Chain A
Amino acid sequence: MLLRAFIPLGVFAAIGLVLWSGIGKNPQLLPSALLGKPAPAFAAKALHAPETEITSASLLGKPYLLNVFGSWCVSCRVEHPLLMEVERRGEITLVGLNWNDTREDATRWLAQFGDPYSQIIFDADGRIAIDFGVTGAPESFVISAEGRVLHKFVGPLTEDDIENKVKPLLAGQAL
């Protein structure tokens, strides 16, 4: 009789374990497999100048924030004013990765909301996003001057992210 009363607790413990295991699978919780490793190599056309090619090699030498965005992405609009402000202050280099988009839509979107990027890579077939492990937009990667991934942000960037995470990381790098 006494032991029988512990059955509900036992069942709950089992359920709790199952749920706990479920959280661990979320890609946001696991550190990006890329952290500390060299960023995936890429070569793609620029958004504004389709004949120009941007390669990961061409971006070496200076750290930058790679921001994944799309004209269809609602949350990107939330962080966009912040990115404009960051560009205005001139402390951080922003490189855009236009994902899952068409040239017309993206260009129109940037014309409407502003273009904070020093360069924009047009990811035509989504390969670059896959290589970076992108599952949604917006996502941002802090890339060092040597081309290593220092940090990955999932979701809209906040002022706090810029001040307390991006800047200190980049401070350890030559700007």
Chain B
Amino acid sequence: MNPLRKRRLILISALVLGVGAATALALTALNENVNHFYSPSEVAAGKIAHGRTFRLGGVVLEGSPRREESTLKAHFVVTDRFANLPVEFEGILPDLFREGQSVIAVGMLNASGVFAAEEVLAKHDENYMPAEVKEAIDKGKARREAGAPEGAQP
């Protein structure tokens, strides 16, 4: 094989290897950083493995937010109107965080079944309910109407 051909072959092999490595790296990184979205009903139904970070979405239950006096810990309850999940968060809550408004929290369930949030998002317009939250609530409703007992707490 002439030298030009050989060089081309090396180049192409290097390229294919490089692309392969890059793709593998990309997919690994992607999968490790994907956050699933769940509603309180889905959490109550036991859908999530412990120790996995995920996004919890719903509406802040009216009357639930309270702060501890001496620390920065906040407690509130996220609901999809069918199931409630208590959340604790250390830090400052965003400006748009309000009772009755939709919220998304990122974190994981701790040993006592409370959602330990690392991040609380309520950055949207007041009128806006993220599509995910809406769909979760719809699904919960559909399940209730179908008579499924799981996760339903009227």
* Residues on A facing B (Cβ under 8 Å): 25-27, 72-75, 100, 125-127, 130-131, 133, 135-137
CA distance A127 to B141 in the complex (A): 10
Closest B-chain residue to A25, C-beta based?
Answer: B131
Instruction: Name the one of B101, B128, B131 contacting A26, with C-beta atoms under 8 angstroms.
Output: B131
Are B81 and A75 in contact (CB-based, < 8 A)?
A: no
Are B141 and A136 in contact (CB-based, < 8 A)?
A: no
B38 to chain A, nearest CB (A): 18
Are A136 and B127 in contact (CB-based, < 8 A)?
A: yes
Are B127 and A74 in contact (CB-based, < 8 A)?
A: yes
Are B129 and A135 in contact (CB-based, < 8 A)?
A: yes
B103 to chain A, nearest CB (A): 13
B134 interface residue, CB < 8 Å from A? Answer: yes
Are A135 and B141 in contact (CB-based, < 8 A)?
A: no
**Given contacts A100-B100, A126-B59, is CB(A135)–CB(B126) below 8 Å?**
no
Interchain residue pairs with CB less than 8 A apart (19): A26-B131, A72-B126, A73-B127, A74-B126, A75-B127, A100-B100, A100-B101, A125-B62, A126-B59, A126-B100, A130-B81, A130-B137, A130-B141, A133-B138, A135-B129, A135-B131, A136-B127, A136-B129, A137-B127
Q: For residues 82 through 141 of chain B, which have their beta carbon under 8 Å from a beta carbon of chain A?
A: 100-101, 126-129, 131, 134, 137-138, 141
Are A27 and B131 in contact (CB-based, < 8 A)?
A: yes
CA distance A25 to B101 in the complex (A): 22
List the 3 closest A-B pairs by CB distance, nearest first.
A136-B127, A135-B129, A135-B134
Chain B residues within an 8 Å CB radius of A25: 131
Task: Please classify the interface of chain B as helix (H, G, I), strand (E, B), loop, or mixed, using the class held by over half of its residues.
Answer: loop
Chain A residues within an 8 Å CB radius of B62: 125
CA distance A125 to B137 in the complex (A): 14
CA distance A135 to B135 in the complex (A): 10
CA distance A137 to B128 in the complex (A): 8
* Given A127-B81, A135-B134, 5 additional A-B pairs, CB 8 A: A25-B131, A73-B127, A74-B127, A125-B62, A130-B141
**Given contacts A27-B134, A131-B141, is CB(A136)–CB(B81) below 8 Å?**
no
Closest B-chain residue to A99, C-beta based?
Answer: B100
Chain B residues within an 8 Å CB radius of A133: 138
Q: For residues 17 through 72 of chain B, which have their beta carbon under 8 Å from a beta carbon of chain A?
A: 59, 62
Chain A residues within an 8 Å CB radius of B81: 125-127, 130
